Amino acid sequence: MIGIFLTGAFIISGWLLYNRNIFVNYALLAIFMALLLVFGLYEFNHINIRELEFFNPDALGVLLLVALCVVAIPVLFHGYRYIEIHNVDETPKSRGLFFGSMVMLIAACSVVYLSGHIAVTWIFIEITTLSASALIYHHRNLRALEGVWKYVFICAISITFVYIGILFLSLSLKDAGIDDMSFESLYTNASKLNPFWLKLAFLFIFTGFTAKLGLVPMYTAGIDAKDKAPAPAGALLASVLMNAGFVSIYRMYAVMSHTPLKHWANTVMIVAALLSIFVATVYMTRIKNIKRMFAYSGIEHMGLVVLGLAAGGIGVYAAILHIILHALIKPSLFLQYNQIYWVYQSKSIYDVGDYFKYNKVGAIVVFLGFISATAMPPSGLFISEFLIFQSLFEAHNILILIVVLVLLTMIIWGFGSNIFKLLFIPPISIDEAKIPKISSWESLTQFVLLGLAVYLAYNPPMIFVNLLQEAVKLIA
């Protein structure tokens, strides 16, 4: 089924690139959407059945794949609205490129989730870089060029780092006399691997994948990318692509967790996570660009996820829950961002205000999105963050817990002061005649995503919990 899906996705993506007919364009998108849903459903019913030698849809992969299916529907719909209705200077060519690369990005991410071999993960992560850069450069102006240049360069360096890591991993396998680099073989033979090379391999692979996950040190590329990409594409970069980075790091960490190096790996991850939260705090309290603010909020959440992972115990469960809920909440903020831009024609916090007056339904989404993203109850993230804090407490990392709580409070303050300025304080100068009328239907999908995040956290279906518990078992 993976073979069929990949072939189908590549054909559709290639066809979209060359197609100029508007009807064919959307027919192809509908076919892709159906293909993706069938694929998601099929893998959901065929967990842990190896396919094409290199793919193993385990519980974690399937969970993230289902989340991707849920996110992809509103993203493609808003992509359609963005291209057809709200952006005047689109041509058939730019439309084809936009949707073609979007299809490619979604397909590559879904395959990364299911990959059971580190080299396959690596190859498809490369493809995500390619398709994401086409999306970032969509507007073809100087700023977009800057964004795409930084993204491509940093991703190229980090993908090289991952490759170096894989080489070191192969050296560590050589000592153990193994030549199978699939994750399963790595898990079973973990104790035989040469610890020195394994350490180096983990360092390089972790550093490399932080470009996709959005952690210190390679997070910078992602921020510019989410800022410059059109908002529907930004929604993908801020959710499914980050999940692809997460799944890669998670599997590598799972290998480490089967060795005595687990504590060393935990230390590395805690340092990276704390620095990420710190960086996010510094920027969130000063930032004046709304879209970049959403992007930095993602850095903060990824820091929390990795912190949970490193704390162990219930933290691993919480980390996976957190990343899934985050993947539902962040796209709704990004998709909503477009409406803010239509009203004010600016990203700067100085030009906006009184949003409740101009777009009531949209303002409610922004408000709920703010509550969700800062993990205040009834946000779903409240549950997962609480569990992460509990795991930190149980692991006797009290000092780290206190630091994180202080930093999070500052983030809420920074995030909140900007959002309340947007929602309630009247703007300095605005031409009210130019404000378009925005239909409240445009916000429907965002409500659904936010609602789903609450539902999954407070009343999780049995099957969801089972899959989560299954995914946690990868870590020893």
Partner 1 sequence: MTDILLIALAMSLLYISIANRLFTYLNILVFQGFILFGVTFLTLNKISTVNLILIMLETIVFKAISVPWFINYVIRRNGITREAEPYLPNFVSLIIVTFITVATIILSSSIKDPNLDKTFFVVALSTIFTGLYLIVTRKKIITHVIGYIIIENGVFVLSLAVGNEMPNLVNLGIMLDIFASVLILGVFFNRIGDLLKNPDIDHLRNLKD
Would you say 110 or 129 has its CB closer to partner 1? 129
Q: Which of residues 228-257 bind partner 1 (CB under 8 A)?
A: 228
Binding mask 183-222 for partner 1 (x = CB under 8 A): -----------x-xx-------------------------
Residue in the block written with tokens 């993976």 = 2
Which range, of 142-150, 360-368, 375-383, 409-417, touches partner 1 by CB under 8 A?
A: 142-150
Please provide the distance, in angstroms rounded to a whole number, between the alpha carbons at the two ends of the chain: 30
**Which one of the spans 163-171, 257-265, 303-311, 358-366 is the region binding partner 1 (CB under 8 A)?**
163-171
Position among 87, 94, 170, 185 found at the interface with partner 1 (CB under 8 A): 170
Q: Does 131 participate in binding partner 1 (rule CB under 8 A)?
A: no
How many positions of this chain bind partner 1 (CB under 8 A)? 44
With beta carbons less than 8 A apart as the criterion, state whether 106 and 236 touch.
yes
Closest by alpha carbon to 366, among 420, 295, 298?
420
Helix (H, G, I), strand (E, B) or coil at 289: strand
Question: Stretches 45-53, 135-143, 364-372, 378-386: which one binds partner 1 (CB under 8 A)?
Answer: 135-143
Of 56, 128, 133, 182, which lies in the binding site for partner 1, with binding defined by CB under 8 A?
133
What's the Cα-to-Cα distance from 388 to each of 72, 205, 215, 305, 384, rounded to whole Å? 28, 24, 17, 8, 6
HEC states along 76-125? HHHHHHHHHHHCCCCCHHHHHHHHHHHHHHHHHHHHHHHECEHHHHHHHH
142: contact with partner 1 by CB under 8 A: yes
At closest approach, how far in Å is the CB of 284 from partner 1?
10
149 makes contact with partner 1 (CB under 8 A) = yes
350 interacts with partner 1 by CB under 8 A: no
Please give the Cα distance from 338 to 334 (Å, whole number).
7
Query: Should residue 283 be labelled a site residue for partner 1 when binding is judged by CB under 8 A?
Result: yes
Nearer to partner 1, 121 or 384 (CB): 121
Q: Per CB under 8 A, does 341 bind partner 1?
A: no
Q: Rounded CA gap, 436 and 170, in Å?
A: 58
Residue 221: which of 231, 233, 211, 207 has the closest Cα? 211
Q: Which two tokens stand for residue 446?
A: 């965002």
The C-alpha atoms of residue 70 and residue 381 are separated, in whole angstroms, by: 18
Q: Is 160 in the site for partner 1 (CB under 8 A)?
A: yes
Closer to partner 1 at the Cβ: 287 or 408? 287
Question: For residue 67, what are its two tokens?
Answer: 């989340």
Interaction between residue 475 and partner 1 (CB under 8 A): no
In 3D space, the residue among 464, 441, 442 whose CA is nearest the CA of residue 452 turns out to be 464
Tell me which residues touch partner 1 (CB under 8 A): 119, 122-123, 126, 129-130, 133, 137, 141-143, 145-150, 152-153, 156-157, 159-160, 163-164, 166-167, 170-171, 174-175, 179, 194, 196-197, 224, 227-228, 283, 286-289, 292
